Structure 1
Amino acid sequence: MTVQVTITPNGRMSLPAEIRKRLGLAGGGALLVEETEDGVILRTVAQSIAHAQALAKKYTEGNAAASVDAFLARRREESGE
């Protein structure tokens, strides 16, 4: 879905109510703005977390040394704990 929104002179814009409802932002909320070569991406915090998790999985899947537990174990080992 593509919609056109207007940016006011002071930089504010309004997302249509239908989109806010679908994103769970009907009562207000936060969006993260990501600037890319192709434009701007708006994501909810939950969408951003899911996106980051998908990226992490893509680059670490099947690599046990890339787990959080492995990282913490290495840090303990390096610090002499």
Structure 2
Amino acid sequence: MSYHAKLIKGGKIVIPAELRRELGLKDGDQLVIERMGGSLTIKTYAQMVREVQAEIKRLVGPYEGSLVDELIADRRAEATTEDRRP
């Protein structure tokens, strides 16, 4: 579905009320604008986080366990090694 928005003074974009309601956008929400060639894409921060998480999951692949727990264990092991150095 297409919507029309208006660019007003100061470079502000007015997003139609119907679209804001459908997407659950509220006053003060932070949005991310991406330039893709000659087009703009507007996303919420929540959308960006989901996309980044999906990309990381794709890159890491199936993984059993917790990457965070693994990282913490690695850091603790490094700290122990450093504490033992003369």
TM-score where L is the length of structure 1: 0.73
Root-mean-square deviation over aligned CA pairs = 2.6
Identity %: 29
Instruction: Please name the residue that 1:8 is paired with.
Output: 8
Range that drifts further, 48-57 or 32-41: 32-41
Cα deviation digits, residues 18-76 of structure 1 (max 9, x gap): 11011211x41221222334632211122122111111111112245982222222222
Q: 5+ unaligned residues in a row in structure 2: which ranges? A: 82-86
1:56 paired with 2:45, answer: no
2:61, 2:52 → 1: CA distance?
A: 14
Which residues of structure 1 form unaligned runs of 5+?
none
Choose 1 or 2 for highest CA Rg. Answer: 2
Secondary structure of the 1:3 match is coil
Aligned to 2:84: none
The 3 A distance-change label for structure 1 pair 80 and 58 is: same
